[in-house]
């Protein structure tokens, strides 16, 4: 058996949008029946790319997350459609039938990932097919994966333990975008942007970068520690959202600074000036 899956490595995505454009090249104004009617020239992005900006000037991080249909094991679109107008193939690809699904606007809103688009002209819900028509014709991967210059989109057979995608999955660091939906998504991610807490330590007496200063982060049942680099910069990356912590900055001969933070978003504390003890 072949079951398809995809791992998208956000940490290797340069935001070039090659996947986005290759998808448009395959599907815009070209039918691939029986899996997909032509995507209109404008308005649908079956491979959406979301830019995430974290932090604030001058500590900014930018990530790009490519979001196709998740081809869930338990797809809500299939459930809502009810009549087979959306169906799951044995290889796991979820297809919106371009004939049967006509007029079914409710299918668009069934998807919590919002990756089903409405074609006003054709009165048709439409979405990513993982280029099923190409896979059926013997292609090894969909257009988005082929176009990726950094191998950030890895596609393959989940039932083949030797496939690159299986190896990435068994390495255990992948996650789905919204595990709380519990849909059995077949698109996993590496390196999804979380929250960070960062700052720049300055020695108040000399106005020099506070290099080599110990900074600890406590809270949510954990303690992490780091040492500032030559620029006085410190950073705790990969923190959950809406968590509360205490940042403690201490250096011999200086007064300790304690700052409470909450990761509603990533937190850049800016310059933290240490006063002489």
Partner 1 sequence: MAEKTFVNCTAGGPIRVHVEDGRITKVRPLVFDETDAPSWTIEVDGKKYTPPRKACVATFTLTERARVYSKDRILYPMKRVDFDPKGAPGSTGPGGRNAQNRGKSPYVRISWEEAFDLVAGEMKRIRETYGPEAITSRCSSHHNWGNVGYRTGAWARFFNLIGFTDILDNPDSWEGWHWGATHAYGFYWRLGNPEHYDMLEDTLRYTDLIIHWGNDADSTHGIYGGNESALWRYWLKEKGIRQIIIDPYFNYTGAAVGDKWISYRPGTTGALALGIAYVWITEGTYDKDYVASKTVGFEEFKKYVLGEEDGIPKTPEWAAAETDVPARTIIALARDWASHRTCLAGGTKGGEGGHCRQAYATEHNRLMVLLQAMQGLGKPGVSIWGTANGPPYNHTLDFPGYASGINFNLMASKPIQNPVKQRLYRLLVPEAILDPPIEWMGEGFCGGSLEQQFTKFVYPLPGHSEVKMFYRYGGAFLSTMTETNRWVRMYQSPKLEFVVNQDCWFSTETRLADVILPACTNLERNDISEYASSGGYSLHASGSANHRIIIYQQKCIEPLGESKSDYDIFCGLAERLGVLDEYTEGNTMEDWIEKMFYKSDLPKYIDFEEFKTKGYFLVPQIPDYKPTPALRWFYEGRPCDTPDFANPKRGTDKAHELGTYSGKIEFVSQSLLAHTPDDDERAPLPRYRVSWEGHHSELAKKYPLALISPHPRFTFHTHHDSHVEWLSEIPGHRMPKDGYDYWIARINPVDAQARGIRQGDVVRLYNDRASVLCIAHVTERARPGVVHSYEGSAKYDPLEPGKPGTTDRGGCVNMLTPGRLMSKNVPGMAPNSCLIEIERWEA
Contact by Cβ (8 Å): 242, 264: yes
Q: Considering the complex, what minimum distance in angstroms separates the CB of residue 64 from partner 1?
A: 8
Question: Among residues 69 and 77, whose Cβ is nearest to partner 1?
Answer: 69
Residue 120 CB coordination number (10 Å): 10
Sheet containing 153-157: order of strands: 153-157, 4-9, 187-190
Could you give the CA distance from residue 68 to residue 24 in angstroms, rounded to a whole number? 12
Binding interface with partner 1 (CB under 8 A): 12-18, 20-22, 24-26, 28, 30, 41-42, 45, 49, 51, 53, 55-64, 143, 146-147, 149-151, 202, 207-209, 211, 230-233
Element housing 250 (H / E): strand 244-250
For residue 63, what are its two tokens?
């990530």
The owner of tokens 């912590």 is: 245
Element housing 147 (H / E): helix 143-147
Question: Among residues 1 and 230, whose Cβ is nearest to partner 1?
Answer: 230
Q: Considering the complex, what minimum distance in angstroms separates the CB of residue 51 from partner 1?
A: 7
Question: Among residues 20 and 35, whose Cβ is nearest to partner 1?
Answer: 20
Question: Among residues 106 and 271, whose Cβ is nearest to partner 1?
Answer: 271
Question: Among residues 85 and 129, whose Cβ is nearest to partner 1?
Answer: 129
Element housing 199 (H / E): strand 195-203
Contact by Cβ (8 Å): 52, 60: no
Q: Considering the complex, what minimum distance in angstroms separates the CB of residue 136 from partner 1?
A: 15
Question: Among residues 231 and 241, whose Cβ is nearest to partner 1?
Answer: 231
Q: Considering the complex, what minimum distance in angstroms separates the CB of residue 173 from partner 1?
A: 15
Q: Considering the complex, what minimum distance in angstroms separates the CB of residue 200 from partner 1?
A: 9
Could you give the CA distance from residue 45 to residue 23 in angstroms, rounded to a whole number? 8
């Amino acid at each position: 058996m072949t079951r398809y899956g995809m791992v998208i490595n956000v940490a290797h995505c340069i935001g070039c949008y090659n996947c986005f454009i290759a998808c448009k090249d395959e599907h815009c104004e070209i039918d691939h029946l029986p899996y997909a009617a032509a995507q209109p020239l404008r308005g649908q992005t079956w491979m959406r790319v979301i830019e995430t900006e974290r932090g604030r000037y001058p500590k900014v991080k930018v990530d790009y997350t490519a979001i196709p249909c998740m081809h869930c094991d338990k797809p809500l679109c299939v459930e809502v459609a009810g009549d087979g107008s959306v169906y799951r193939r044995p290889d796991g690809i979820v297809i919106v039938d371009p004939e049967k699904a006509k007029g079914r606007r409710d299918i668009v809103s069934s998807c919590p990932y919002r990756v089903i688009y409405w074609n006003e002209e054709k009165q048709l819900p439409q979405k990513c097919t993982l280029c099923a028509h190409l896979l059926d014709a013997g292609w090894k991967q969909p257009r988005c994966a082929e176009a990726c210059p950094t191998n950030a989109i890895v596609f393959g057979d989940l039932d083949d333990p030797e496939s690159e995608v299986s190896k990435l999955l068994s390495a255990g660091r992948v996650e789905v975008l919204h595990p709380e939906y519990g849909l059995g998504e077949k698109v996993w991610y590496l390196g999804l942007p979380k929250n960070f807490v960062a700052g720049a330590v300055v020695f108040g007496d000399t106005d020099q970068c506070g290099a080599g200063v110990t900074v600890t982060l406590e809270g949510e049942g954990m303690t992490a520690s780091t040492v500032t680099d030559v620029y006085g910069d410190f950073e705790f990356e990969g923190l959950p959202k809406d968590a509360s912590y205490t940042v403690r900055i201490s250096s011999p001969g200086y007064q300790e600074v304690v700052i409470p933070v909450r990761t509603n978003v990533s937190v850049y504390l800016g310059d933290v000036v240490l006063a002489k003890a």
